[in-house]
Copies of this chain bind each other. A is one copy, B any other.
Amino acid sequence: MNFVGSHILSVDQFSRSDIARIFETADTMLVYAERQRITRILEGAILSNMFFEPSTRTRVSFGSAFNLLGGEVRETTEVRASSLTKGESLEDTARVLSGYSDVIVMRHPQEGSVAEFAAASRVPVINGGDGSNEHPSQALLDLYTIRKEIRTRGAGVDGLRIALVGDLKYGRAVHSLCKLLALYDNIHFSLVAPPGLSAPPAVVSLLEAKGHKVTIHHELERGIHHVDIVYVTRTQEERFASQDEADRYRGLFQLNQAVYTANCEPNTVIMHPLPRDSRSEAQELASDLDANPNLAIFRQADNGVLVRMALFALVLDVADRVDEFSKPVPWHSHR
């Protein structure tokens, strides 16, 4: 795809080479995220960060990514989009608000709303999550993390062995990650979910149609044998019809250090889109794993900033000039 001026709405937009371009760009952002240098390439640019559904992590990650490139952020966090609109169509909102900024990130509880908004926007729109539909930057940062983690052992994404664990029915992040991984070759997917939360048939078919190997498990232990990555998700409680139904699944699969040691390979990488539920009854990823160097969940969150910087840089066509506007960092940084 041609990134310049484009909307980023869905993982379906990306070819394998597009992903490579995003990831190469994300790699160049590390020096700024780690505060070895600052860059002012987007000095004067304005991001409209529009969150019609609370999502502190995603909102702050996008906002910080834009600040790290030197830009300013105008934020809207109205929970009730209705109070914004007074009957205004999403198209009108887009036409007006796109006059106030250079790029827009939008999160909205309703599926398809971000694409509808983007169609009327005069500036590029990045989907920050539209209901259970898409959240492309999450899928990209997940794949970027996979690539980075296994690269240190000389491996690539082709031939990857990955276990996807937990709520595979409602987990938007998992569905999008599967779509991205499907672009690569010869991947072994171990889909580990309780009966009732299995991955949708469409996801399984897609993977098989592309020649990947898919194994279905209903037990945690056997599902995480012989994999490079264990990707654990929380139960998407808010998608269930009743709290009762949600409660039924909470705590069913708990990955802790003992289970890891007994079933995983010594360097199996542990991922999770966060937040992980640390209440005693949930614990899908126990805190005794925090000392495990293969726990990549916080590196994964950090990578989100790099990937989002890359998306901004590509869409605004500055990816190749970021260094030109760089300066030393005069303050003390731990990072």
Contact = CB atoms under 8 A, between A and B. Distances in A.
Interface string A72-108: 1111101000011111110111011101111000000
B88 A305 contact: no
A171 to B, nearest CB: 14
A38 B48 contact: no
B100 A61 contact: yes
A27 interface: no
Contact of A64 (B100, B277, B287, B334): B100
A92 B96 CA distance: 36
A42 interface: yes
A51 to B, nearest CB: 11
Nearest to A44: B38
B334 A5 contact: yes
A331 B41 contact: yes
Interface in A252-290: 274-279, 282, 287
A266 B83 CA distance: 36
A298 interface: yes
Contacts of A86: 234, 237, 275, 277
B305 A331 contact: no
A330 interface: yes
Interface string A297-335: 010011001000000000011100100010101111111
Interface stretch (A8-16, A52-60, A129-137, A142-150): A52-60
Give the one of A73, A92, A275, A333 with max B CB within 10 A: A92
A63 interface: yes
Given A70-B44, A277-B88, A96 B4 contact: no
Assembly of this chain: how many copies?
A: 3
Contact of A278 (B4, B89, B333): B89
B44 A60 contact: no
Contacts of A224: none
A74 B63 contact: yes
A325 to B, nearest CB: 7
B67 A54 contact: no
A250 to B, nearest CB: 9
A334 B122 contact: yes
Nearest to A290: B91
A218 interface: no
A193 interface: no
A46 interface: yes
A179 interface: no
A318 B331 contact: yes
11 contacts: A35-B102, A46-B68, A57-B96, A87-B275, A87-B282, A88-B278, A91-B287, A93-B275, A96-B298, A123-B335, A316-B332
Given A60-B74, A92-B276, 8 more contacts: A39-B44, A41-B330, A54-B84, A56-B84, A87-B277, A91-B287, A123-B334, A123-B335
Which 6 pairs, one residue from A and one from B, show the smallest C-beta to C-beta distance?
Answer: A38-B44, A88-B275, A87-B277, A317-B332, A316-B331, A89-B278
